[in-house]
Structure 1
Amino acid sequence: MRNAEVAGLLEEFADLLEAQGVEYKPNAYRRAADNVRDHPRAIEDLASEGGEDAVAEIDRVGDAIAAKIVEYLETGEIAELEELREDLPVDMAALTRVEGVGPKTVGTLYEELEITTLDELEAAAEAGKIQEIKGFGAKTEQNILDNVAFAREAGQRQRLGDARPLAEEVMGHLDGEAAVERLDVAGSIRRWKDTIGDVDVLVGSEDGEAVVDLFTDWPDADEVIEAGEQKASVSVDGIRVDLRVVVPEEFGSALQYFTGSKAHNVTLRNLAIDRGLKLNEYGVFDVSELRSDGQSDADASDDVSDVDDPDAGQRVGERLGGAAESEMYGALDLPVIPPELREDTGEIEAAVEGDLPDLLTEGEIRGDLHTHTEWSDGASTVAEMVQAAADYGYDYHCVTDHAEGPGVFGDTGLTDEEVREQAEAVAAVREDVDIEVFHGVEANVDADGDVTTSDDLLADLDIVVASPHAALDQGDATDRLIRAVKHPHVDILGHPTGRLINQRPGLEIDFERLAEAAADADTALEVNANPARLDLHGDAVRAAVEAGATVAIDTDAHSPAEFGNVRYGVHTARRGWAEATDVLNARDADGLRAFLDG
């Protein structure tokens, strides 16, 4: 599906229009982009079957935008977009990653100082040129300087939500081919880190050249970067995808090795050394007899950065295993440590003690407690969202549209009266479905920690999610959020930091203090599964688990297609050592009610 690709172009269109001061159109392009991205059918199939008319049937995609989409799919470019790029030749994606720099600011900076890149932006700020522009000032200039480093670093890594689907597409391309015997992802993407450098794909095969040929013939690849007998790299939409082929009997050891992390592998190898074993990408070997002949531990071991040269003593001693990853851990009398835990933060010690957590699985999530409908900024009706939740296999679903308040875009937030009107609509839908339907709201946490929706309304709702949407650059916000979790009607603190991965860092929080306060108040802390957020992140989830706080894994879905994002939330929670008992919406409806009533 090229939906995400097309949606990205529409968002670029919107940014360039906004940068040039065009009104109204940018929002139309952004709404169209959201609906194209979430549409269940491939945009290219719609265009080939029915042209512009079929594409225009997507909600909020008008005739003009549909024509541009078809133009791109047929020709590879949009003439009007190319003209906008020529008029404003800036690295829009990089510049707008700087906190406080939006498309309009980019346009002004280009007009006044001809700034097109992050380096030029930083140089202008250091020279004091930005504060001289009308409407900017020294504070804005310093804010830009403070955030350029984050923007530069963010540009070097891809969001998991962009990279994981790409990895699955390339695996789909390779899976089932005769030359491919074993297949998996490796690296940070297998550990489900929130950002990744490159996509790493590992294949077990006796015919490396055939696999490389299959890989480099992948139709979605924009460029073949390099190709050898056992390795190859391609670029897709700016993301590097690396392939490595190993013989099947070494697939398990290679998978363990290349999954990492480096720190995990070093600690695991040191444990092996203590037991007279050697672990590397080729297998696990008994080298105890070699050491009795005088070879030192240092000679028998090797750092994970060693050159993988089979002639450099990598395959020495009696080989005990390596065809399966379980053999690598089993040789050390350990269970397989889940990839999400492999960060050398105590997981090996826990495995030795037989104390690894029984991590949450995707199938244990029973419902979504934070979702939106067309009443606020969602794309679907209450009935459509509830039915989609039922079709997804959930036991219950909660509608939590935005309440009006600080940080809520435009007029999408509901008044108290509108929330009460919605309660009637939810009640009507409740009668027509087999799953339980809860009604709530996403209220707003202001800069002081106050919840800005009236207490009378909050008291009448089934579930209250309170989230920070404004003052997201205020620095340490721990006390602010502690005040919110202590509010008597708040059930869940939504996306606590307010971060957007690779776009803004979000609030600074002492997660241990927040977790302790949430545990005391019986308020759940959300793992927002939107792949642009993943907030709480894994380390914060672990702080919550260790404090005895409850977490809730919600998609913040604005359309049915986004229910599938729950997997990102589950794996983020797994990185925080969360078990099903730690997760609010892994409980059945009665267990959920008990928490809400507690």
Structure 2
Amino acid sequence: MSRNDEVARRLEEFADLLEAQGVEYKPNAYRRAAENVREYPEPIEALAKAGEDAVAEIDRVGDAIAAKIVEYVQTGGIEELDELREELPVDMGALTSVSGVGPKTVGTLYEELSITTLEELEAAAEAGEIREVKGFGAKTEENILDNIPFARKSQQRSRLGNARPVADDLLATLRESSAVETAETAGSIRRWRETVGDVDVLVASADGPAVLEAFAEWDAVDAVIESGTSKGSVRADGMRVDLRVVDPDEFGSALQYFTGSKDHNVHLRNLAIDRGLKMNEYGVFDVSDVDDPDAGQRVGERIAGETEAEMYDALDLPLVPPELREDRGEIEAAQSGDLPELVEPDDLRGDLHTHTDWSDGRDDIETMVAAAAERGYDYYAVTDHAAGPGVFGNAGLSDGEIREQADAVASVAEDVDLELFHGIEANIDSDGVVTTDDDVLAELDLVIASPHSALDQTGETATQRLCRAIEHPHVDVIGHPTGRIINSRPGLDVDVSRVVEAAADHGVALEVNANPARLDLADEPIRRCVETGVPIVVNTDAHSPGEFDYLRYGVHTARRGWAEAADVLNTWEGSAIRSFLES
């Protein structure tokens, strides 16, 4: 596995510690370098082997940072980073997971109150100590205390976007072993839940020890937790990874069982019992003539288990896609023949929410459009940030700059073989007002309106805010509707049914933002859209070509919401997209 992400995380830690100590400018330099290292298409370790000059060829990686990268790849550590950790011995990740607590706040609280952990932060807030620190106050202390439970919960599970690449790399490694017949993910990661507790992988093999040996030698392993002949666990990339080896004849039943969910499996087992069958990780067994069906796991005549499809067929059910296995009506739909034909990644024809270096993107229009064309898209939209509340720094475009960009997009469109839309990601202020001038919005192909500020609103205030934006005559899509960041902030707490009804009334689509830190809308609101007939649009919100790969996270989230291709706006032909935008 490439170590790019690992190195990027060290640079981000460097940035946080510098910022916590009040250092100017350098933190942003380290964060920009981290972004480009993470997205660099070649393994960073290969560049490091070639030397500092080779590493410094990465955009925004200067000589000093390049030297630290080479040091880390060669030694496994960075001396200066270790010194910073000693100077500021805090659990930065846990503390900054509290909404409103950034690295500077961590630094101040350490200096004033010696706070190093989430538990110490909570104790200080409960004791009223934080309000006494200059620049804080009672309201800040109250907000910190209110947000700690969410932060604590977020520390227990990893984002899917962090776990899935680890799983993919392990699968690729295992599939190279001659001892492995089949390998697949299981558990919540196979169901594409937005967060996972750990990474579960299942292998079919007749040689468990050889598989476990290959597992232990996987180059991503930081530590071996346990290793037997058929099961093992390691720590890799900050996550626990569990592997289980099963008999090839029982791989299908084991895969079904260990994929879950628990509620889905319990429902299936009850159906099996009603038919005189026993269903478990070893297969489906006919126990109708068995005196004691509980005498063992493999009691009775085995009638299914080699494949997952057999497991469902034994109950006269079609194979239920993993994303649906949450016991939310999927078994009843399978029984009645009403399972949806879920959208597939290849169904998407384009991306309608992306950014360039005109705002906060990292590449120019030509580069982004060329990358979209290379992916085979039929159409593509440039939708940079408009100036407004919540947009980081001065990244948003003024009304005049939006008009200038329209000419630039039109010029690029003349030389590419795909339909190019020019739009904007406008801002929804705290009252629901779309802050870009109406005359400018009227000139654009596409208007995405997104909340970027006041993301702690709840109830009627938050719901009315989105509904007011939906009612705007030029708004086509509501982008990342709640503004949540998984494991970092919960986002707007809205009445989903009312927002979806407003979108239906005004012909507005709701976005499924595929960035794995967002996945917003989430699965259950997506299902509400599907049931109501409101189009969803799966966008990557890409700020560089590498982020087009986020698409799969959005599509699988849409699948968890029971979405078929027709429910997703950007599976439509370009002419149908144009008609929707002009209606």
State the TM-score, normalized to the length of structure 1.
0.96
- Cα distance in 2 between the residues matched to 1:147 and 1:246: 43
Aligned to 2:229: 229
The answer to whether the 8 Å contact 2:343/2:555 transfers is yes
Helix, strand or coil: the match of 1:180? coil
Matched, 1:3 2:4: yes
Q: Structure 1 residue 66: deviation in Å?
A: 1.3
Deviation at 1:75, TM superposition (A): 1.4
Deviation at 1:497, TM superposition (A): 0.8
Q: Matched residues in 1 for 2:238 and 2:363: separation?
A: 32
Determine helix, strand or coil for the equivalent of 1:223: strand
Q: Which residue of 1 aligns with 2:568?
A: 583
Question: Relative to structure 2, which stretch is displaced further, 548-557 or 506-515?
Answer: 506-515
Does the 8 A contact of 2:354 with 2:384 survive in 1?
yes
Compute the displacement of 1:42 (Å).
1.3
Q: Deviations over 1:468-516 (max 9, x none)?
A: 0000112231111111111111111000111111111111011111111
Partner AA of 1:216 in structure 2: A
2:258 counterpart residue number: 258
Q: Which residue identity lines up with residue 15 of structure 2 in the other structure?
A: A
Q: How far apart, in 1, do the equivalents of 2:582 and 2:419 lie?
A: 17
Aligned equivalents of 1:30, 1:213: Cα separation in 2: 37
**1:322 aligned onto 2:323:** no
AA paired with 1:558? Answer: H
2:384 is the alignment partner of 1:401: yes
Residue correspondence of structure 1 range 174-573 to structure 2 within 5 A: 174-290=174-290, 293=291, 295=292, 300=294, 313-476=296-459, 477-573=462-558
Q: 1:559 & 1:592 partners in 2: Cα distance?
A: 24
**More displaced stretch, 116-125 vs 505-514:** 505-514
**AA partner of residue 360 (structure 2):** D
SS at match of 2:240: strand
Distance in structure 2 (CA, Å) of the matches to 1:32 and 1:482: 39
Aligned twin of 1:24: 25
Shift of 1:176: 2.8
Unaligned runs of 5+ in 2: none
Tell me the equivalent position of 1:305.
Answer: none
Residue in structure 2 matched with residue 160 of structure 1 by the alignment: 160
Do structure 1's residue 45 and structure 2's residue 26 form an aligned pair?
no
Report the CA distance between 1:65 and its aligned residue: 1.2
Match runs of 1:64-75 below 5 Å: 64-75=64-75
- What amino acid is aligned across from residue 584 of structure 1 in structure 2? L
Could you tell me how far 1:289 is from its partner in structure 2?
1.6
Q: CA deviation at 1:237?
A: 2.1
RMSD over equivalenced CA pairs, Å: 0.9
Deviations 1:68-91 (A, max 9, x none): 111111111111111111111000
Residue 379 of structure 1, CA deviation: 0.7
- 1:79 equivalent in structure 2: 79
Q: Secondary structure at the match of 1:401?
A: strand
Deviates most, 55-64 or 204-213 = 55-64
Output one character per residue of 1:389-419: Cα deviation in whole Å (capped at 9) or x when no partner: 0001111110000100000011111101011
**Cα distance in 2 between the residues matched to 1:377 and 1:64:** 24
For the 8 Å contact 1:386–1:397, the answer to whether it is kept is yes
Give the 5 Å matches for 1:14-163: 14-49=15-50, 51-163=51-163
The residue type equivalent to 2:182 in the other structure is R
Give, in whole Å, the separation in 2 of the partners of 1:70 and 1:420.
Answer: 44
Q: What's the secondary structure of 1:400's corresponding residue? A: strand
- Mapped to 2, the partners of 1:28 and 1:404 lie a distance apart of 23
- Listed one character per residue, the Cα deviations across residues 242-293 of structure 1 (whole Å, up to 9, x for unaligned) are 0000000000000000000000000011111111111100000111122xx5
C-alpha distance in structure 1 between counterparts of 2:403 and 2:69, whole Å = 40
Q: Kindly provide the CA deviation profile for residues 48-102 of structure 1, in whole angstroms up to 9, marking residues without a partner as x.
A: 23x2112112111112111111111111111111111111100001000001000
Contact 1:512 1:547 in 2 (8 A): no
- How many Å apart are 1:32 and its aligned residue? 1.1
Q: Give the share of equivalent positions with the same residue, in percent.
A: 69
On the 8 A contact 2:166/2:237 being kept in 1, the answer is: no
The CA distance in 2 between the partners of 1:44 and 1:588, in whole Å, is 42
Q: Distance in 1 between matches of 2:515 and 2:251?
A: 33
Decide which moves more: 111-120 or 478-487.
Answer: 478-487
Instruction: Measure the CA separation in 2 of the matches of 1:219 and 1:22.
Output: 35
Q: CA deviation at 1:207?
A: 0.9
Measured in 2, the distance between the counterparts of 1:475 and 1:21 equals: 33
Deviation string, structure 1 residues 119-158 (Cα, Å, up to 9, x no partner):
0000111111111111111111111111111111111111
Q: Please give the alpha-carbon distance, in whole angstroms, between the structure 2 residues aligned to 1:52 and 1:430.
A: 39
**What is the CA–CA distance in structure 2 between the aligned matches of 1:533 and 1:63, rounded to whole Å?**
33
Instruction: Report the Cα offset of residue 537 of structure 1.
Output: 0.8
2:385 match: secondary structure? coil
Q: Which deviations, in whole Å up to 9, do the C-alpha atoms of 1:12-57 show, x marking residues without a partner?
A: 11111111111111111111111111111111112223x2112112
1:53 and 1:437 map into 2 onto residues whose CA distance is 38
The aligned amino acid for 2:95 is: L
Instruction: Give the AA of the match of 2:257.
Output: Y
- Letter in structure 1 aligned against 2:318: P
Extract unaligned runs of 5+ from structure 1.
Answer: 301-311
Output the amino acid matched with 1:522. Answer: G
Contact kept? 1:511, 1:544, Cα under 8 Å: no
Q: Number of residues paired by the alignment?
A: 580
**Alpha-carbon distance in 2 for matches of 1:78, 1:518:** 51
The DSSP-based 3-state class of the residue aligned with 1:288 is coil
Distance in 2 separating the partners of 1:203 and 1:159: 24
Instruction: Give the Cα separation in 2 of the matches to 1:46 and 1:440.
Output: 38
- Amino acid of the residue matched to residue 67 of structure 2? A
> Is the 1:283–1:328 contact (alpha carbons within 8 Å) kept by the matching residues of 2?
yes
Q: Offset at 1:110?
A: 0.2
Moved more, 89-98 or 212-221: 212-221
| Secondary structure of the structure 2 residue equivalent to 1:418 | helix
Once the two structures are overlaid, the 10-residue window that deviates more, 501-510 or 347-356, is 501-510
Match of 1:306 in 2: none
1:437 maps to amino acid: L
Residue pair 1:52, 1:63 contacting (<8 A) in 2 also: yes
- Residue type of the alignment partner of 2:172: G
Kept in 1, the 8 Å contact 2:378–2:419? The answer is: yes
Q: Distance in 2 between matches of 1:461 and 1:426?
A: 11
